[in-house]
Amino acid sequence: MDFPQYKSEINNNGFAVIDAVYSQDEIDQIAEIIDRTDSDSATFRKSKDLFAIRQFLKEVPNVTEVLFNQKLKNVINSVFGEDYFPIKSIYFDKPGNSNWFVAYHQDLTISVNQKAEIENYGPWTVKQNQFAVQPPVEVLENIFTIRIHLDDTDENNGALKVVPKSHLKKIYRPETIDWNKETEVSCNVPKGGIMIMKPLLLHSSARTVNNINRRVIHIEFSSLQLPTQLQWAEKLTVN
């Protein structure tokens, strides 16, 4: 793996795609563990267009060993840094007939253990008993997101579309995008590959048109400690 190249792509463009992080056997193991999980928890969201598991690593702890294989650990340590740890995780299963789509946005909130009055932290929201808050932009700039793809994903089944370099513009409102100046890229990822992105990168996801499922595990990483009143809601130590 060309770690310096991936790091450069992420710093300059806001994203990178790395193929073959997982074997077919590892993908099958991950899928089997997910399929065996009791889906009645409040953190599970089920509809005809989407199946999602919030706090994924907490809800499906048995997946951790196979998910954090040596290749992924090498990526985290070499591209992010050895002091980075998971802070948020979600599993998405977008069915092949899904009409679900997400408009252009940045990921502007973090998940924390409680609500507290702290300067420059806000606004606050609560989803399924999970507190989320928009932190100072410096906190967001420290975060890396890894999207692990359990299916081949392209523009026909909801691959992320991104605006390269938009992560360098701090808070960038989607309604202000000037398409005469900006470009759009489809981040196609083969099964077993990963996409790394910065949360401030403008990204969207279109409807599925080819009847092929898209299963993705989304994990966010940080190396920061939050103000003393707050803790990361899903902080996990991965050896």
pLDDT digit string, tens, across residues 123-135: 999 977 789 999 9
Is there a domain that residue 227 lies in? Answer: no
pLDDT digit string, tens, across residues 4-20: 999 999 999 999 999 99
Is there a domain that residue 110 lies in? Answer: yes
pLDDT, averaged across the chain: 92
At residue 72, does pLDDT exceed 60?
Answer: yes
Is there a domain that residue 234 lies in? Answer: no
Is there a domain that residue 190 lies in? Answer: yes
The residue segments making up the domain with residue 192 are 3-222
CB atoms within 10 A of CB 201: 24
Closest CA to 202 of 235, 233, 164: 164
Cβ–Cβ < 8 Å for 218, 153: no
Q: What is the CATH number of the domain that holds 200?
A: 2.60.120.620
User: What's the mean pLDDT in 97-113?
Assistant: 89
Cβ–Cβ < 8 Å for 151, 195: no
Is there a domain that residue 229 lies in? Answer: no
Is there a domain that residue 238 lies in? Answer: no
Is there a domain that residue 233 lies in? Answer: no
What is residue 208's predicted lDDT score, i.e. its pLDDT?
Answer: 80
Q: Count of domains in the chain?
A: 1
Is there a domain that residue 228 lies in? Answer: no
pTM above 0.75, yes or no: yes
